[in-house]
Amino acid sequence: MSLLSTRRDGFATALSMSKDGPSAYALEVNQALLKEDDDLLRQTFLSVFRHHHPQLANKVDVIFALSQAWCMSESDDDFDMLVKRLETLKPDEHILVASAFSQLLNLHNLTEEIVTARVEKAARLGEVEQSTRSTNKSLERLVNELGQNPEDIFKALCRQRVDIVFTAHPTQAIRQSLLKKYQKIRSEMDALHNTRMTPYERLECLDEIKSQIQAAWRTDEIRRKKPTPQDESRQGLSYFHDTIFHGLPVFLRRIDTALKNIGQPMLPLDTKLFNFGAWMGGDRDGNPFVTAATTRDVVLGARLSATMLLQSQISRLVYELSVWRASDELTAAAARILEARKDGLYAHTTRESYETEFGSVREPFRVVLSEIRERLNSTSTTLRYLMSHPHLNVKETLDNDPGAYSDAEAIITPLMLCYDSLVATGDSTIAFSELTDVIRQAQTFGLHLCQLDIRQESTKHAEAIDAITTYLGLGSFNAWDEAQRTAFLLKELEERRPLLPADLPMSEEVADVIGTFKMLATLPSDSLGAYIISMAHTASDVLAVLLLQKECGIRETLRVVPLFETLDDLEYAETAMEQLFGNAWYHAHIAGAQECMIGYSDSGKDAGRLAAAWGLYEVQERLAAVAAKYDVHLTLFHGRGGTVGRGGGPAHLAILSQPPKTISGTLRVTVQGEVMEQQFGEKEIAFRTMDLYTSAVLEATLAPMEEPQAVWREAMREMSRTSCEAYRAVVRHDPRFIEYFQTLTPVNELGRMNIGSRPAKRKAHGSIDTLRAIPWIFAWTQIRFHLPVWLGMGQALRAMIDAGKLELLQDMYQNWMFFRVTLDMLEMVFAKADPRVVTMYQRQLVDAGLHALGDELLRTFYEAEELVLKVMKHKGLLSSSSTAFLQQKLQLRAPYVAPLNILQVYCLKTIRDIEAGKEVDESGYNPVPAAVALMSRDPEKTPFVGAVEDTL
């Protein structure tokens, strides 16, 4: 088989996975299941609501029916009826009705997750046809269709590494207290569908669902105070306790089975297919609440979690492994432990009590394992002590405590001794059971659980170096050009004498930067991941961080990762990296490996989605080429959110549509905000997430897609230019735009919500430039316009079509994964957008003088939609069979969303009228918290919860 046909087959299969979707039969099953679950949860909620608010329940029924009627008919009359009905609500009823719809919407989103999990399961059981991507299928395809050697596949898998990094991004609007209840409902629904139940058990299950729904209804939906970064870390870590820690070894077993199917051995026990990272409490970019002390706290919290999780696993093993036959090595190790105990290493334990509790030399496994358990116990005591003594050096304290563990190897070694002993004495079956899982957990999660990345903006490091050079009379670092800066930093990096004066006068900001580095020097290095520089532009940005690490005494330096975010920075990234790789000191320092991060949201905010997508595509190719030139292994770290505006999309398609050969066995990705719940909130979903990443990275490594044709690239360059100009002409250069944006959307009100610990803007005052990318996207999503995703697209396609290139575009859509995914995502966004809703926001909230701009934008929206469909050759939005299920899901979801949009407009209008000093009927409620409350209900972001899952 020729290479070309291999690649084409790869594309065809990837395409069939993405586009064929479920068969007609599966579709019918999906639809029926979704409807059934949706009805059950809605009826249960309404019975709870009726119990508490009998006089309002009928109104909610009527509003839902009107909303359904409008969503089906799409007629203006039906919309007006719905608006009128909502307008007649008394002010104090607004909040209750909004709460009711918010709960209904959350429950509806739950049914989508439940059905997806059910269909997945049914597909695995062979009950329905479903083109499910999985590692098992990838292995089969690589061997049977592409003729690859199974041993090579095995080796590639052993080397493969996907880093999943949980960030604290403020995009999970739903409180943990509610998420936990929804998780419970999901698992009861799962039991209802999958377990053979007696009528009594069924009733108990339904009662439990009702009780959780009622508890959710009676729980305050709104975070009344801002979460601290520590709160965010605790929330993030809860996924390790709930699904990841126990799910990972089960997932690895599935990979073992898949390997067995192609005649290969199980994965070696030290293979780390996944590495987990976190930003919660480490990402200080624009977040003044993340201090050095915060970072110390979250590192200790994660270590304590890892210790406790391991402790409970080891305790189970102590009881499991009552085996007496053992290798000489294990017997000797057990004897040594008992001897040491006798000598009173642990003074409180006598040999007799120890033997009774922990086994005797006749049960050597128990002796060795209980020693581990004992030390883990001491470790958690020490960690707790460190938590309440913030002045202590964590690393030194752990290193100097003989009872505590400071290094995971010290646990893995005795566990391997047990494993080898079982294998040597003919008890491999026992070795391959729970012990294997625990060894794999210790390998992946160690004593750190997840590695904390640190992130800070480039200018902050430059300020710190500037403070030093100015104080030492060397001049102002900030005033030097790039060549002077780089020369200075490299010289100082090679210098032995310290540069940082002990008495350096520091501004608060500089003290924070230096304080952070000093704190990092006191933390165990296995707890730390990368040091990310946001808004990185040049080589000196990277060198500055290396120098600060050296000067602050960090011995095992964190790898420094530039994050390229704006279009200009993406274009310059290759030059910056070439300067670094070309320097002998730097090249030796990185020892052949470099990580670079690319930011999807900020590039989109800067240039519009299409230009950003192409800029990101090209920068990956250029970075891969420059790394290859200097013989450096490059890992790309993709900073994407869940929604399309923030680079979100189906994980496997996102990977397969990257430029060929830019993924070679390693990948890092962020999992942000609401995506954590989407991808790791439930056991089966967590497996599926890990499976998708594993299979996609393996295929991208072993069977990369075909290079795009030169004429496709040229077309993309042209469209990228046109779309960027059109986007910036509005967003940057139209003098009416900022006011239009600020009045049409709730962007200013969003800042009052307590979604995350981070402020919405980098600087307190300022324009769109200082606004973070998340509220920028969020604001457009709330009103269902999604402007940053499509603005510029219509002009770009129009120019191509006018130049007679429609067929070329259609060819690109048919045969190029990158372009196909780009348009597929746009189609989904158009289907979720609603210009009628946008018009309502405009009519109610925007000054009449700005309506002309809004109308122009709406025309641009319609044109972009029409042209996208023309290139895709689709008759209407989501009209192809592959998107039929998504279409059904959107139809079922829509009636829950529309009333929330209308109520949000009402509240925004009221709150703004009050702030403008106008007379407002406030009887019965305070519109300010009500408006904020409505936004917490997040009318359009919540449907996007579905979007992430739709696209997985």
Q: Active-site residues: which are they? A: 169, 605
For 285, the token pair is: 């970019």
Q: What minimum distance in Å lies between the beta carbon of 175 and ligand PGA?
A: 20
Which among 133, 259, 266 is positioned nearest to 652, based on CA atoms? 133
Closer CB to ligand PGA, residue 605 or residue 893? Answer: 605
Q: What minimum distance in Å lies between the beta carbon of 647 and ligand PGA?
A: 7
Q: Give the CB-nearest residue to ligand PGA.
A: 601
Site for ligand PGA in 635-654 (CB under 6 A): 641, 646
Q: What minimum distance in Å lies between the beta carbon of 778 and ligand PGA?
A: 9
Q: What minimum distance in Å lies between the beta carbon of 672 and ligand PGA?
A: 5
Q: d(Cα 225, Cα 129) in Å, to the nearest integer?
A: 47
Scanning 47-55, 131-139, 226-234, 769-777 for contacts with ligand PGA by CB under 6 A, the matching segment is: 769-777
Per-residue string for binding with ligand PGA, 587-616, x by CB under 6 A?
A: ------------x-xx--------------
List Cα–Cα distances, 286 to 10, 456, 681, 750, 801, in angstroms: 42, 8, 28, 17, 43
Closer CB to ligand PGA, residue 251 or residue 790? Answer: 790
Q: What minimum distance in Å lies between the beta carbon of 646 and ligand PGA?
A: 4
Q: d(Cα 644, Cα 829) in Å, to the nearest integer?
A: 8
Closer CB to ligand PGA, residue 760 or residue 808? Answer: 760
Number of residues forming the site for ligand PGA (CB under 6 A): 10
Scanning 198-206, 576-584, 768-776, 882-890 for contacts with ligand PGA by CB under 6 A, the matching segment is: 768-776
List Cα–Cα distances, 498 to 495, 559, 585, in angstroms: 8, 21, 18
Closer CB to ligand PGA, residue 773 or residue 817? Answer: 773
Of 317, 464, 773, 853, the one binding ligand PGA by CB under 6 A: 773
Burial class, 762, CB count within 10 angstroms (exposed 0-12 / middle 13-18 / buried 19+): middle
Q: What minimum distance in Å lies between the beta carbon of 834 and ligand PGA?
A: 23
When asked if residue 108 is in the footprint of ligand PGA (CB under 6 A), the reply is: no
Closer CB to ligand PGA, residue 66 or residue 773? Answer: 773
Per-residue b or e along 636-668, where b marks 16 or more CB atoms closer than 10 Å to that residue's CB? bbbbbbbbbbbbbbbbbbbbbbbbbbbbbbbbb
For 37, the token pair is: 């679950």
Q: What minimum distance in Å lies between the beta carbon of 18 and ligand PGA?
A: 24
Scanning 112-120, 771-779, 811-819, 894-902 for contacts with ligand PGA by CB under 6 A, the matching segment is: 771-779
Which among 145, 226, 200 is positioned nearest to 754, based on CA atoms? 226
Closer CB to ligand PGA, residue 578 or residue 940? Answer: 940
Q: What minimum distance in Å lies between the beta carbon of 601 and ligand PGA?
A: 3
Name the 3-class secondary structure at 454.
Answer: strand
Q: d(Cα 140, Cα 145) in Å, to the nearest integer?
A: 8
Strands 161-166 and 559-564: unpaired
Closer CB to ligand PGA, residue 773 or residue 826? Answer: 773
Closer CB to ligand PGA, residue 91 or residue 604? Answer: 604
Q: d(Cα 714, Cα 719) in Å, to the nearest integer?
A: 9
Cα 912 from chain centre: 34
When asked if residue 781 is in the footprint of ligand PGA (CB under 6 A), the reply is: no
Site for ligand PGA in 528-557 (CB under 6 A): none
Q: d(Cα 382, Cα 419) in Å, to the nearest integer?
A: 29
For 910, the token pair is: 């009221």
Closer CB to ligand PGA, residue 460 or residue 646? Answer: 646
Q: What minimum distance in Å lies between the beta carbon of 102 and ligand PGA?
A: 23
Q: Cβ(925)–Cβ(89) under 8 Å? A: no
List alpha helices for 849-940, DSSP H: 851-872, 884-915, 927-936
Site for ligand PGA in 422-481 (CB under 6 A): none
Q: d(Cα 239, Cα 305) in Å, to the nearest integer?
A: 11
Q: What minimum distance in Å lies between the beta carbon of 639 and ligand PGA?
A: 6
Closer CB to ligand PGA, residue 741 or residue 776? Answer: 776
Scanning 175-183, 249-257, 416-424, 772-780 for contacts with ligand PGA by CB under 6 A, the matching segment is: 772-780
Site for ligand PGA in 790-809 (CB under 6 A): none
List Cα–Cα distances, 464 to 481, 515, 558, in angstroms: 17, 11, 18
Closer CB to ligand PGA, residue 305 or residue 603? Answer: 603
Site for ligand PGA in 276-315 (CB under 6 A): none
Give the residues across from 534 on adjacent strands.
457
Q: d(Cα 429, Cα 552) in Å, to the nearest integer?
A: 50
Name the 3-class secondary structure at 680.
Answer: helix
Q: Cβ(209)–Cβ(189) under 8 Å? A: yes
Which among 71, 3, 102 is positioned nearest to 936, based on CA atoms? 102
Q: What minimum distance in Å lies between the beta carbon of 694 and ligand PGA?
A: 24
Closer CB to ligand PGA, residue 284 or residue 366? Answer: 284
Find all residues with CB under 8 Å of 880, minimum gap 6, and list them. 19, 874
Cα 248 from chain centre: 17
- The amino acid that residue 80 corresponds to is D
Of 408, 716, 774, 789, the one binding ligand PGA by CB under 6 A: 774
Q: What minimum distance in Å lies between the beta carbon of 65 and ligand PGA?
A: 37
Which element (helix H / strand E) includes 666?
strand 666-671
Find all residues with CB under 8 Å of 646, minimum gap 6, and list them. 600, 601, 604, 640, 672, 773, 774, 777
Closer CB to ligand PGA, residue 728 or residue 772? Answer: 772
> How many CB atoms lie under 10 A from the CB of residue 768?
15
Q: What minimum distance in Å lies between the beta carbon of 294 and ligand PGA?
A: 16
For 838, the token pair is: 């946008």
Which element (helix H / strand E) includes 318?
helix 292-320
List alpha helices for 770-816, DSSP H: 773-782, 787-790, 793-802, 806-815
Of 672, 689, 757, 910, the one binding ligand PGA by CB under 6 A: 672
Per-residue string for binding with ligand PGA, 509-528, x by CB under 6 A?
A: --------------------
Per-residue string for binding with ligand PGA, 204-233, x by CB under 6 A?
A: ------------------------------
Query: What is the full DSSP assignment across 196-251?
Result: ---HHHHHHHHHHHHHHHHHHHTS--S-SSPPPHHHHHHHHHHHIIIIIHHHHHHH
When asked if residue 169 is in the footprint of ligand PGA (CB under 6 A), the reply is: yes
Of 85, 440, 772, 893, the one binding ligand PGA by CB under 6 A: 772
Q: Which residues bind ligand PGA (CB under 6 A)?
A: 169, 599, 601-602, 641, 646, 672, 772-774
